[in-house]
A and B are shown apart, each in its own frame.
Chain A
Amino acid sequence: MTDAVTTTGLTKRYGRRTALSDCTLNIPAGHVVGLVGPNGAGKSTLLQLTCGLLAPTEGRIEVLGHTPHTGSPRLGFVAQDTPVYGNLTVADHLRFGAHLNPGWDKALAQRRIAELGLDPSQRAGKLSGGQRAQLALTLAIAKRPELLLLDEPVAALDPLARREFLQGLMSYAAENGTSVVMSSHLVADLERVCDYLIVLVASRVRVHGDVDELLGTHHRLTGPRRDPDTLGPGREVVQASHTDVQSTLVVRSTAPVDDPSWTSDRLDLEDIVLAYMAQAGTHGRDRVLEKR
């Protein structure tokens, strides 16, 4: 199976500010990929590079085997805050979509609008946030894209609207095997819907991989205070904190940690994401311990 997205050394700078630096990734097709990170980490930049709205400053990106370009019928993109045209009606949006997209699935679009209970003659500006997001999703999936990109689609929605949006998105993905990449801060939502995760902090990819694999290889170790470098090879310390007597480490390790002086706990996805975010914030600070 070809990769949905492949990037090599992908970098995007706006003047002197680097939005994304040296990003090398391959996202296998057929996954629902979560893109997480704090505000300004480069999530929107990566998504806009992926759909061809931005051109890279350095490096390469291939999407579904080709250089991305805007207007590709194989890509669906829902931008941040799910924009729609406030003065146009729901029916106008569907006509617009049909006109612009050769592969437009009229039946799918109309079925979704009916299922959602949207009035076709309603102006989009009068829709609720949840309805607007659902309309934007309908426009993106009626193109029948092979890859669907969503930038913070549920951030502004209440919990019920969020759940309904994800239900719609997941049933579409289940039916069509579409690859999905969505950014979000809401790790709890991503934990349900994603099977692949990319953590982006301060313009860099900190970790990416299959969710089950990430959950299986990250551990929290607590034990008497000691130098984390004594853990041995094959164990990457993601985060370390120390008190006078105790060390708490988050490590990535493929082999189980069988040293009995450590207590090993499993981490959930949110813990793992937070550990990588904290690592980016305090990089280098814990190095002091090595010199003791």
Chain B
Amino acid sequence: MIEFHLDARSGVAPYLQLIQQVRHALRLGMLKEGDRLPTVKDVVARVAINPNTVLKAYRELEYEGLVQPRPGLGTFVTRTLAGGDEAIAAHEPLRRELTDWLGRARAAGLDDEDVEALLISTFREFSEERAGRRG
């Protein structure tokens, strides 16, 4: 079971934050097929948000085919986003390489903002290049 939280200053709509947190948990393998999401009542009692916000997030996730409500039982994960065991197994070595890289960036005098800007711009270039090759 996962627990939701809200970042009031993020500027991201609350229902989108809930969706992102579920997708994130699916991607990291914290949620797997058959797992139950917290009930609407549990979420609102914990996070103090509007029940319709939770319903909207769950409907959206259902529409994406990630979860399925079962009346009287709750909402269950129907599909995982993690790319199978192989991809999950690759997480740890990749994370270590990234940690090493961050260490080298820090040693070279980059601060948090520099690192973030570099990561985002490289990521964007990389994605565009890939998309270009495919098209």
Question: Interface of A with B (CB < 8 Å)?
Answer: 30-32, 163, 166-168, 170-171, 173-175, 188, 191-195, 212, 215, 266, 268
Contacts and interface: CB of A to CB of B under 8 A. Distances in A.
Given A32-B52, A193-B49, A170 B8 contact: no
Given A174-B51, A192-B50, A167 B45 contact: yes
Contacts of B102: none
B48 interface: yes
B48 A268 contact: no
B6 interface: yes
Contact of B48 (A167, A175, A195, A212): A167
Given A163-B48, A195-B50, 18 more contacts: A32-B50, A32-B51, A166-B48, A167-B44, A170-B45, A170-B49, A171-B41, A171-B44, A174-B45, A175-B41, A191-B14, A192-B8, A192-B14, A192-B48, A192-B50, A193-B48, A215-B13, A266-B11
Interface in B29-56: 40-41, 44-54
A199 B49 CA distance: 20
Given A175-B41, A192-B6, A170 B11 contact: no
Interface residues of B, number: 19
16 contacts: A167-B44, A167-B48, A168-B45, A170-B44, A170-B48, A170-B51, A173-B51, A174-B40, A174-B54, A188-B8, A191-B8, A191-B14, A192-B47, A192-B49, A195-B50, A215-B13
A290 to B, nearest CB: 33
Contacts of B13: 212, 215
Contacts of A30: 52
B52 to A, nearest CB: 5
Contact of A31 (B15, B44, B52): B52
Interface string B84-114: 0000000000000000000000000000000
Q: Name A's interface SS.
A: helix
Nearest to B6: A192
B45 A171 contact: yes
A58 to B, nearest CB: 33
A41 to B, nearest CB: 23
Contacts of A171: 41, 44-45
A186 to B, nearest CB: 11
Contacts of B6: 192
A157 B15 CA distance: 26
A83 B47 CA distance: 26
A166 B43 CA distance: 12
A195 B53 contact: yes
B44 A174 contact: yes
Contacts of A173: 44, 50-51
Contacts of A194: 50
Q: Which 4 A-B pairs have the closest CB atoms?
A: A174-B51, A170-B44, A171-B45, A166-B48
A167 B50 CA distance: 10
A188 B7 CA distance: 11
A174 B8 contact: no
Nearest to A169: B48
A195 B54 CA distance: 11
